[in-house]
Amino acid sequence: MTPPNNEQESASTPRHVAIVMDGNGRWARERELPREQGHQHGRIKLHDVVRAFSERGVRFLTLYAFSTENWRRPSEEVQGLMTLAAEAIKQDAPRLHQEGARLLHLGRKDRLDPDIAAAIDRVVDVTKDNTGITLSVAFDYGGREEILEAARSLMRDGVAADNVDESAFESRLFTNGLPDPDLIIRTGGELRISNFLLWQAAYAELYFTPTLWPDFGPQEVTKALDSYAARKRRFGGVEGE
Ligand code: FPP
């Protein structure tokens, strides 16, 4: 994954894309397979999708892999997703590292299996100086919880109310140091944000596709980026100002 050239890095290319990867269960059901197989096929897609975004000049990609609400799923499914996370760290992370990707984790680690938490820390550390795409994986992540934790942290540190501005707040979010997402994609046909990047999504363009996550490939990446390129972003201002 080479850094984008100046031509690629234009206003029509989002700097940061974030994805709600939905539809694994339905993909499996359509094939009369267990839900776990849907997640497994979803995992297999990760590398190609990261590469496709990187080649199109996207510098930051964030994937919603496990939400704070996903703990409510049947324990076998939760366990299956944990196993997939371990596999992704073992198989995908080394390839991504070789290609120059920097990996980050967004979310809580205290509820994860200690071996998985330690493996995440290692991958983040090993890739920290890479200069290619920054891939953040939201795993045990919830937007409301992130906001509450930032508020708690400000209070714990005794920050005066008048000093609580956007930058003080943002520095206490999991996404500290990342630009806000320009484009949020949700696969699987649902039209909602599901507790993902609630603060950071303030001015994001939204793109919803009925394509189920295991079917989301490089062609779908192109469609989403073309849709973004056709948008006019005004950030609350007036066009042309
Ligand atoms: C939503 O589909 C998807 C998830 C809850 C998990 C996303 C995980 C992956 C794509 C692969 C795993 C990757 C890692 C790094 C663990 P759903 O089950 O809600 O689908 P449905 O709406 O069709 O039931």
3-class DSSP state for residue 186? strand
Report d(CA 159, CA 14) in Å as an integer.
Answer: 34
Question: Tell me, what amino acid is at 145?
Answer: E
Pocket around ligand 1 at a 6 A CB cut-off? 21-26, 39, 42-43, 65, 70, 81, 84-85, 88, 137, 188, 213
Name the residue of 81, 140, 195 whose CB sits within 8 Å of the most ligand 1 atoms, as the mutation to test its pocket: 81
Atom of ligand 1 minimally distant from the CA of 27: 23
Per-residue pLDDT of the chain (241 residues), as tens digits, is 434 443 444 689 999 999 999 999 999 999 999 999 999 999 999 999 999 999 999 999 999 999 999 999 999 999 999 999 999 999 999 999 999 999 999 999 999 999 999 999 999 999 999 999 999 999 999 999 999 999 999 999 999 999 999 999 999 999 999 999 999 999 999 999 999 999 999 999 999 999 999 999 999 999 999 999 999 887 888 766 5
What is the secondary structure of 96-145 as a DSSP string? HHHTT-EEEEES--TTS-HHHHHHHHHHHHHTTT--S-EEEEEEEE-HHH
Report d(CA 31, CA 52) in Å as an integer.
Answer: 26
Cα 213 to ligand 1 centroid, rounded to whole Å: 8
Known catalytic residue at 180: no
This prediction's pTM = 0.93
Token pair of 185 as six digits: 């994609």
Residue whose pair of structure tokens reads 């140091």 in the numeric block: 177
Establish how many alpha carbons lie within 13 A of residue 173's alpha carbon, considering only the half-sphere containing its beta carbon.
22
